[in-house]
Structure 1
Amino acid sequence: MASRIRLSPAQRREQLLDLGVRLFARRSLDELSVDAMAQEAGISRGLLYHYFGDKLGFREAVVRRAAADLLAKTAPPSTGEPLERLLCSMTAYLDWVEENHEGYLSLVRGAASDPTLREVYDEARAALTDRIFVEDETGLLPDTAAARLLVRAWAAFAEELVLSWVADPGGVGREQVVQLLAGSLPALVGVTP
C-alpha cells in the first residue's frame, strides 16, 4: 500500500495549476470547468474554490501560468545572430501552439470579450514582441515607434499563421511555416523607412 504524501498549501496549489495547464492544452477555456478540474484532480469543488476563490480566479490563474510557460519555452537563445535567435524562438512558438492549441485558441478568441483574458493576452504578447528590441547591436530592430508598430502587426500575422496552419495545414510543411514566421519580420523590416 502506497503512503500518501501531505502537500503544503503552496505545493497543492502549484500541483492544481500544473494540472489545469495540462487540461488547458487540450480544452477550450469554456471546457476548463471547476467540475472537470476537480474530477481530474480527484478533489472536491470546495477545495478548488479554497485555492482559487471562484471559477474565474481558477481560470485566470491557469491562463497566467500557461502564458508564463509560453514565454519561458519561446525565449530565444541569449547568444547568436539575431535571425538565428528569431528562428529558434519561432520554432518554439510553433511547438508550443501545437501542444496547447485548444487552450491558446480560446485565449486568443476570448481576449476579445473578456477584460481579464485581454490583460493576460496583452501582457504575454508585449513580452513576446519586446524580445525583438534590445539596446545594443545584437537586436533585429532599433526601438522606434515605427518599428514597434511593425512588430505588433507582425505578431498578429504570426499568430494567425500558426493558428490557421495548426487547424488546417493544407499541404504546407512545418519547416515552411517556420521559415515564413522567421523570414517575414526581416522582410517587413526591409520596407521600414
Structure 2
Amino acid sequence: MSTSRVRLSPEERRLQLLDLGARLFATRSVEEISIDVLAEEAGVSRGLLYHYFGGKQDFREAVIRHAVEDLVEQTAPPATGDPLERLATSVGVYVDYVIANLTGYRSLVRAAAGGSEDLRAIYEEARSALTDRIFREDSLGDHLHDDAATRLVIRGWSALVEEMVLTWAADPSVMSREALVDTLVGALPALTGVVSGDRPG
C-alpha cells in the first residue's frame, strides 16, 4: 500500500532546510557552509534553496543564526533546583554543543572577531541572550545584582567560558569534562563576589 507524502508548508520546508544546513555547521567552517554543499548532501535542487534564501550569503547567515539559536535553546537550564546546579547543567550542555560542532563554532568565533559585521551581529545577539538569561534565571540566587558592573563581569566570564572550552577541546587530557564544568561554574560566583565586595553598603 502506498503512503502519501506529507506536504510541508513553506515555513516548515524552510525550517527543514535550515536544520539540514545546521548539520553542516558541525563539521565545516563558516566559509564552507554553502548552497552548493547543502544541495549536494541533501539531494535538493539549488533552485529550491535560492527560492527560500535568496542568495549564498543570506543562506549562510540564516544557517548560522539557526545554529546559535539552537545553542541558546539547548543550554537553557532546568526550571527548578539549586541555582549553581542549574548553571552547571547549562554549562555542561554548552561544552557538549561546542565539542559536537567544534569546526563550525571555532570558525564562527574567528569570523565574528575578524570583520564580518553580519556574523558578528549574530554572535553578539547570542552572547547577549546567554548573559541576559543568567540574570533572568537568577543563577546565583539572591546575590546577583543586575547593574553595569556585574554585567561587565558576566560578559567577561562568558568570554572565559568560551576560551577555556575551545582550548580544552584541543587537549582534553588537561582535565576531565566534569572538572572543566566545575571550574567554570565556580568562577562565576568568585568573580561576581569581587564586584559585590566593592559595592557600597
The TM tier, using the shorter chain, reads: over 0.9
In the alignment, structure 2 segments of 5+ residues that lack a partner are none
Partner of 1:165: 168
Query: How far does residue 150 in structure 1 lie from its aligned partner after superposition?
Result: 0.5
Deviations 1:23-50 (A, max 9, x none): 1111111111211111011122222111
> TM-score with structure 1 length normalisation?
0.92
Counterpart check, 1:178 vs 2:181: yes
Residue 67 of structure 1, CA deviation = 1.0
CA distance in 2, matches of 1:146, 1:115: 27
Q: Does residue 146 of structure 1 match 2:149?
A: yes
Q: Tell me how far apart the structure 2 counterparts of residues 31 and 37 of structure 1 sit (CA, whole Å).
A: 10
Alignment of 1:31-180 (within 5 A): 31-112=32-113, 113-134=115-136, 138-139=141-142, 141-180=144-183
Match of 1:28 in 2: 29
| Aligned equivalent of 2:190 | 187
Q: Indicate conservation of the 8 Å contact 1:132/1:140, yes or no.
A: no
The answer to whether the 8 Å contact 1:133/1:140 transfers is: no
Q: Which runs of 4+ in 1 moved over 6 A?
A: none
- C-alpha deviations, 1:33-71, integer Å up to 9, x for none? 211111011122222111100011111111111111101
Contact 2:168/2:174, CA 8 A, preserved across alignment: no
Contact 1:52-1:58 within 8 A present in 2 as well: yes
Structure 1 Cα separation of the partners of residues 97 and 151 of structure 2: 24
Q: 1:130 to 1:65 in 2, by over 3 A?
A: same
* 1:177 to 1:135, Cα distance in 2 relative to 1, 3 A: closer
Percent identity, aligned pairs only, is 59
TM-score, L = length of structure 2: 0.89
Q: C-alpha separation between the residues in 2 aligned to 1:118 and 1:165? A: 24
Q: Distance in 2 between matches of 1:2 and 1:42?
A: 21
| CA displacement, residues 47-99 of structure 1 (integer Å, 9 cap, x when unaligned) | 21111000111111111111111011101122222211111111111111111
User: For residues 114-153 of structure 1, what are the alpha-carbon distances to aligned partners after superposition, in whole Å with 9 as ceiling and x for unaligned?
Assistant: 1111111001001101122149783551101110010111
RMSD: 1.9
Whole-angstrom distance in 2 between the partners of 1:33 and 1:122: 22
CA 1:114/1:140 → structure 2, altered by over 3 Å: closer, same or farther? farther
Measure the CA separation in 2 of the matches of 1:101 and 1:33.
Answer: 18
Does structure 2 retain, via aligned residues, the 8 Å contact 1:73–1:92? yes
- The residue identity in structure 2 corresponding to 1:184 is A
5+ residue gaps in structure 1? none
